[in-house]
Amino acid sequence: EPDPLITEVQDWASTTGAGVDATPYGLPIEYESDVVRRTVPWLTADPISSINFTPIHALDGTITPQGCAFERHHSGAISLRKEDYRLMINGLVDTPLVFTYEDLERFPRENRTYFLECAANTGMEWAGAQLNGAQFTHGMIHNMEYSGVPLRTLLAEAGVQTEGKWVYVEGADASSNGRSIPLEKALEDCMVATRANGEALRMEHGYPARLVVPGWEGNMWVKWLRRIEVTNGPVESREETSKYTDTLADGTSRKWTWVMDAKSVITSPSPQAPITHGHGPLVITGMAWSGRGAITGVDVTMDGGKTWQKARLAAPGQDKALTRFYLDTEWNGEEMFLQSRARDETGYIQPTKDQLREVRGENSVYHNNGIQTWWVNGNGEAENVEIS
């Protein structure tokens, strides 16, 4: 039976489409309207101090569009004009300085691609499988190309004194969200970014300037960055003591757990991205990342870990950035237990959830980088499960 979509002249092949100015700044086509950030209302007391999730199940490649990259605000996303923006460097420096936005644009800048993962990503899964969808289990992550000034350049402009061992960074919003960062890291690869993926930062990502702290938990990437203070010790602010610390089984807690360990997840098939095409060729895909360097390999299993095979990396892993992987396979309706396992350049291999629980117990909230399992049934539908 001939396909009428081919044999009959369609409207779009006969009439005209939209003119060039129909959308001066475009949104995705209406058919992709399901690819949006989503929140889990019961997680927090109020949407102003809350989090939502990147629709990773529907994205490909490695760059996350700003418009659907997850948001986490502690006191709401503020609207701050470039003209009203000030960045102060004070503390143990030779000359405390104030920069305007325009000043920032006059320093030599770099372009770097990094992932940002919330320390709480996958946190709701510590005690067991709970949320059905990669967006909800692993969506507190994004990966963007940042343009900005290396933090070391700005610090050098003020002149760090020898007593300076830490920097304390804070935002202009009401939460201020201050965090202490060792000076070594500040000088190594942190940057003050003004653009992401080529365009100005979106309001929700810290317009007009945010801190980039490669490989370290997202909470330290202070948005609406307004002040950098060089100190001789950590401030021990609320976000580095009462939050973003990891309580172990015996009740002691780890602090300063900044780095995000190697992790991966299959984004399709997954609960929000079931197999709908029937038997035959199937593309299994996902993403992997490590805060300690580049991803060097990803293994995928379809039988719950009895046998593993090496996935194909779409490109060689980059330092502290997302890597896309594919496993091009055949599916003939058999039940699958899909898992992925990342390896980074330090030789670290993504652990199972049970391995993590063995060390840390079940009371942790943050830093759950355990291997995720999707159970795919004969209809191609997937569910978040844990397996023996």
Partner 1 sequence: ATPVPVVDGATDTLNGQGDTMAVAGEDTAPAHAKFGLGRVALPEEIAAWNLDIMPDGTGLPEGEGDVWTGDEVFAENCAVCHGDFAEGVDNWPKLAGGKGTLDRKDPVKTVGSYWPYLSTTYDYVRRSMPFGMAQTLSDDDVYAIVAYILYSNDLVDEDFVLSKDTFLDVEMPNADGFIVDDRAETEYDQFSQEPCMESCKESVEITMRAAVLDVTPDHGGDEAAAEPAPEDDASQMAEATPEEATAESAEESASAPAAESEAAPETADASTPDAAPESADDSEPEAAAEEAAAVAVAADPELVAAGEKVFKKCQACHQVGEGAKNRVGPVLNGVVGRTAGTLDGFKYSKAMIGAGEEGLTWTSETLHEYLADPKGYLKGNKMAFAGLKKPDDVDAVVAFLEAHP
Q: Each residue of 4-43: b (16+ CB within 10 Å) or e?
A: eeeeeeeeeeeeeeeeeeeeeeeeeeeeeeebebbeeeee
Separation CA 133–CA 138 (nearest Å):
8
CB of 216 to partner 1, least distance (A): 11
Q: Report the nearest approach of partner 1 to the CB of residue 126 (Å).
A: 10
Residue among 156 and 315 whose Cβ is closer to partner 1? 156
Check: CB of residue 177 under 8 Å from CB of residue 171. Answer: yes
Q: Smaller CB distance to partner 1: residue 10 or 253?
A: 253
Nearer to partner 1, 30 or 330 (CB): 30
In terms of Cα–Cα distance, which of 118, 53, 51 is closest to 263?
118
Name 230's bridge partners.
91, 167
Task: Report in angstroms how near the CB of residue 325 gets to partner 1 at its nearest.
Answer: 16
By beta-carbon proximity to partner 1, the closer residue of 114 and 216 is 216
**Which one, 147 or 364, has the nearer CB to partner 1?**
364
Among residues 199 and 256, whose Cβ is nearest to partner 1?
Answer: 256
Backbone angles phi, psi at 358, to 5 degrees: -60, -40
- Distance of closest approach, residue 281 Cβ to partner 1, in angstroms: 19
- HEC string for 51-95: EEECCHHHCCCCCCCHHHCCCEECCCCCCCCHHHCEEEEEECECC
Alpha-carbon distance of 68 to 77, in angstroms, equals: 15
Q: Which residue has the tokens 């965090």?
A: 179
The CA angle 130-132-138, to the nearest 5 degrees, is 85
Q: Which is nearer to partner 1, 48 or 315 (CB)?
A: 48
The CA-based diameter of the chain, rounded to the nearest angstrom, is: 80
Shortest distance, position 386 Cβ to partner 1, whole Å: 4
Minimum distance from CB of 10 to partner 1 (Å)? 24
The label of the residue with tokens 């939050």 reads 243
- Going by C-alpha positions, the residue among 295, 263, 270 that lies closest to residue 285 is 270
Say how far apart CA 171 and CA 228 lie, in whole Å.
9
Nearer to partner 1, 195 or 343 (CB): 343
Cα separation, 311 vs 301, in Å, equals 9
